Structure 1
């Protein structure tokens, strides 16, 4: 009976008892409370809990470290399960369903920022909203605001991301055909392009002719593009981990869900950027004052 449980003759896998869901939830709670405490600390305020003022930056970073450690340990256990043969056809299918649902939730996350942007841009002179008309001058972008040239750094970054989508597809194709060298080369190029995109966007932010709190345009611009940039950083780390695993020989043509999930995530980041570029950079700059022109 014990042997039958240890070596089940079916495609389903029951995981061993794990501390990571509990530890991860504790880390998330500490990070959330620590984030509020950090913000209160930055504005020299108080954040009393049970009579103690916890307005300091350390609680946030402690919670963040707990979350990062949980992610590392939990995913290490998942990789170990895969090597032990627990990721059967059924398990792999449901891992894919989970990744699809995660990406769907990310889509809705970005829908919120696009909604905020289009709500402000399509109705800048709404009669019933005096405050909005005051802040925008009744036009979009707001009156007197200089915007970034969409066909300078933004176009450069668009080309970078499109190239990175090509290189990650090359890596995937190489993996499916057992070409380990092509897999590694494709991942190296993709990670490099992801890092280049982040550096270009950081330069763009530093030299932007408007600030986050200068106008509703700046707020919606930086929230949408900033969160996308954060996702690029996460995706780059995701692919860098896959690169290390590829060098170790973890992936096979038949079993490589970790890489496949990273590739899906990267393509999602690509598509979101195309919508950002078309709407926030190109469409919203139509008829506006372009920086340097």
Structure 2
């Protein structure tokens, strides 16, 4: 019969949200540039871009959830979704490689920027750095615990324990919020500002982008928790949650590298506060 589906792939119908996402991203980045250059209405353009982009995310992902419920996510489609998530995380890995590269370049070869850092690392102009074994260590333990709770939730789902799934997600979300709160406190009381020298720039860009990823991951898991209460996930079909768990483990691993290399090794032998 004409029009009968004879394959396992999901052919998407025409949708406005990809176009809306492209234009809202353009609007948001234009607003950021306008705001940085102190142009008129920069904040308005930025707010409009963020608002429409948020609406795009909500509507687009809502459509994906509806497709999953309708049975459009066949095993073949789920496999390709996994490939897509793996490639996305790989691109995020390379993003953080860039920040680590910058930090190591500054720290291992300070003589190349002697006029900026005084030929030493951390820069001569800095009086103190953060103590790696104070709040950073506590945040490390919090994220490691959150990795175990999200794994608990995943195993509970696989074994049909929906209460364990919800409790594990609640614990992970609470730990994620706690991590973000402690990092905000750390930034507010840091003994050095952003942008004064290469150390401050590299530190805040690397740890700040990681903090942004923690916030995104927390929202990701909160959506999964809402879907868990709606009864959306099954032991055999739960890629939405699986993708969130992968993303959260990625965030955990990146923080371990940040803690070891930037907080501990990067501050070795320097006065702490």
Aligning the two structures, in what range does the TM-score lie when normalised by the shorter sequence?
over 0.9
Q: Is 1:141 paired with 2:127? A: no
* Aligned twin of 1:129: none
Q: Summarize the alignment of residues 25-40 of structure 1 with structure 2, pairs less than 5 Å apart.
A: 25-40=22-37
Could you tell me how far 1:172 is from its partner in structure 2? 0.1
The alpha carbon displacement at 1:214 in A equals 2.3
Shift of 1:55: 4.2
Using the alignment, how far apart are the partners of 2:56 and 2:195 within structure 1? 35
Q: CA deviation at 1:15?
A: 1.1
| Residue in structure 2 matched with residue 96 of structure 1 by the alignment | 82
1:213, distance to aligned residue in structure 2 (A): 2.0
Shift of 1:274: 0.3
Q: Paired residue for 1:251?
A: 233
Q: What is the correspondence of 1:183-202 to structure 2 with a 5 Å cutoff?
A: 183-202=165-184
* 2:205 pairs with one of 204, 223, 233: 223
* Bigger Cα displacement from structure 2, 12-21 vs 135-144: 135-144
Q: Separation in 2 of the partners of 1:201 and 1:56?
A: 28
Q: Which deviates further from its counterpart, 142-151 or 110-119? A: 142-151
Number of corresponding residues: 272
3-state secondary structure, aligned to 1:125: helix
- Largest Rg, 1 or 2: 1
Unmatched tracts of structure 2, length 5 or more: none
Q: Is the 8 A contact 1:144 1:289 kept in 2?
A: no
RMSD, matched Cα: 1.1
Whole-angstrom distance in 2 between the partners of 1:83 and 1:200: 38
The equivalent of 2:260 in structure 1 is 278
Provide Cα deviations, 1:93-119, integer angstroms capped at 9, x if missing partner.
000000001001101110110011000
Structure 1, unaligned stretches of length 5 or more?
47-53, 127-131
Please list the CA deviations of residues 100-153 of structure 1 after superposition, one character each: whole Å capped at 9, or x if unmatched: 010011011101100110000000123xxxxx2122221111125211110010
Taking the aligned partners of 2:266 and 2:224, their CA distance within structure 1 comes to 37
With structure 1 as the length reference, what TM-score do the two structures score?
0.91
Who is 2:150 aligned against?
168
User: Is the Cα–Cα contact under 8 Å of residues 203 and 262 in structure 2 kept in the other structure?
Assistant: yes
> CA-to-partner distance for each residue in 1:65-99, whole Å, 9 max, x for gaps?
11111111011111001000000000000000000
Q: Distance in 2 between matches of 1:17 and 1:149?
A: 53
Out of 90, 96, 100, the position equivalent to 1:114 is: 100
Conserved? CA contact 2:32–2:42, under 8 Å: no
Residue from 69, 72, 89 that aligns with 1:86: 72
Q: Distance in 2 between matches of 1:212 and 1:121?
A: 17
Q: Answer yes or no: is the 8 Å Cα contact 1:40–1:55 preserved in 2.
A: no
Residues 35 and 43 in structure 2, CA contact (< 8 A), matched pair in contact too: yes
Question: 1:9, 1:183 → 2: CA distance?
Answer: 36
